[in-house]
Structure 1
Amino acid sequence: MRTACFVDGYNLFYGLLAGTEFKWLDLQALLAHILRVEDPETTLQAVNFFTSGVKPSLASRGIISQQAQNTYLRALVARGVEVFWGRHQLESGKAPRFVDKNTPASRANQVEIWKLEEKETDVHIAISMYRLAARQATLPPEQRIEQLVLVSADTDMTPALRAIHEDFPDMRLGVILPHHEGIKRTVPGSLKPYVHWMRHVVTNAELAAHQFPQRVPTRKKPAEKPDYW
């Protein structure tokens, strides 16, 4: 089964990799493994990775965090992953002050905050999935993508999955939740009615088994694993 994966990079990092020793992830190899576990006849044809650039002024390690992200993305591209960029938007705003868990939020008690939002990613993933599904009818059967897999737990993707499910009933749909084992998270129920299967957890053993080598050759300078990763 010819398969294309669509990965929400923000969801992947904060749901699965942040705070672990597995950030130097060979994403394409991991996805190929998970797909084979689900169906041994599956072949991974494309991995599409959607992300936004780190803002050094807000990152825990400043410019080093930005450099680490760029290095990792170069490694992904060298292995055949296609990267699509969104953007971050930083704006001032107000939010209810947190007092304690027993005190309800109140509009009468607000504080000034900075709001950092990732822009364009969800819409870009949704449109890319739908357009790829639509193009398959124009291709010879032996070249058609037969399955789309979303790597995200974001319920904002529900309308896109529903539209593909309804408009292209022959297209198989799957979801890989970027959830780390040992951390209990709620399964996004709104995604489930529109997919044929859902992987709930990625194990530490799977992450450990699918890491890049220390140095990944590229067309230019090799991508080397960041020291603090």
Structure 2
Amino acid sequence: MKTIIYVDGFNLYYRALKKTNFKWLNLMALCEASLPKDCEIIGINFYTARISGRIDPSSPKDQHIYLKALATIPGLSQHFGSFQVSDKLMYLTQPLVFSPKLKTQPLPTPKFVSVVKVEEKGSDVNLGVHLVRDALLRKMEHAVVITNDTDLCEPLRIVVEDAKLPLTLLSPVAKPAKGLEKLATFVRHLSPYLGVSQFPDPVITSTGEQLEKPKSW
């Protein structure tokens, strides 16, 4: 089956990779290892946003290196939303809850506090639109979506019920969201294949550039 992969980059990172040593992930190797052998992968679409260094100054550089490594995969396209970091006044639970716990509450007890709010915009919309477009135009015979974001339930439903195409949910979590699991034709899990699907270190680009895995990874 001619198969296109749609990867929710932030969902994949936070659900399956952040607390592991498997961040140097080769998406083509992962999909080839985790999907049935009759899947002919004709494209991988990776949806993400360029992150800010406000919280972790090394993160943008690390991400840039990884995106360049992904660009060496034939047939992989990168699609960018926006990454927003702002200061927001947020209402606090009352009474306040602290970690680690405090024996006494500070006085006076505040009701609002300024926090750094991080938001990623556009990636799930781009993924959903591209998935539906490709299904209705019959650009593939089978779709694979890597996410656990229930905002994508409606695009999955359109592909399966309206376009009448099989769709595999390649889940980044042990227990996928029920809404996604119910809509998908097949459900598979990627976690067993993370360790065997890493890029070499370094990755050599077509121009001979050597991309070394970030030391913190």
Say whether the fold is shared (TM-score over 0.5).
Answer: yes
For 1:94-173, what aligned pairs fall within 5 Å after superposition?
94-98=89-93, 99-100=96-97, 109-136=111-138, 144-169=139-164, 171-173=165-167
Partner of 1:227: 215
Partner of 2:106: none
1:176 maps to a residue whose letter is L
Q: Compute the displacement of 1:6 (Å).
A: 0.4
Q: Distance in 2 between matches of 1:128 and 1:46?
A: 12
Q: Which has the higher helix share?
A: 1
Partner of 2:105: none
Whether contact under 8 Å (1:87, 1:120) holds in the other structure is yes
Question: Is structure 2 residue 188 aligned with structure 1 residue 199?
Answer: yes
Q: Distance in 1 between matches of 2:196 and 2:16?
A: 15
2:59 maps to a residue whose letter is S
Q: Distance in 2 between matches of 1:24 and 1:200?
A: 18
Mean Cα deviation higher: 116-125 or 156-165: 156-165
For 1:39-78, what aligned pairs fall within 5 Å after superposition?
40-59=37-56, 62=57, 64-78=58-72
Counterpart pick for 1:188 among 174, 177, 201: 177
Q: Distance in 1 between matches of 2:116 and 2:214?
A: 29
Q: Distance in 1 between matches of 2:213 and 2:19?
A: 16
Note the aligned Cα RMSD (angstroms): 1.9
Q: Distance in 1 between matches of 2:197 and 2:2?
A: 21
Percent identical residues: 31
Structure 1, unpaired ranges of 5+: 102-107, 137-143, 180-184
Count of matched residue pairs: 202
Whether contact under 8 Å (1:7, 1:151) holds in the other structure is yes
Q: With the length of structure 1 as denominator, give the TM-score of the two structures.
A: 0.82
Q: Compute the displacement of 1:110 (Å).
A: 3.1
Q: Distance in 2 between matches of 1:68 and 1:90?
A: 18
Aligned residue for 2:151, secondary structure, equals helix
Structure 2, unpaired ranges of 5+: 99-109
Question: Is structure 2 residue 195 aligned with structure 1 residue 208?
Answer: yes
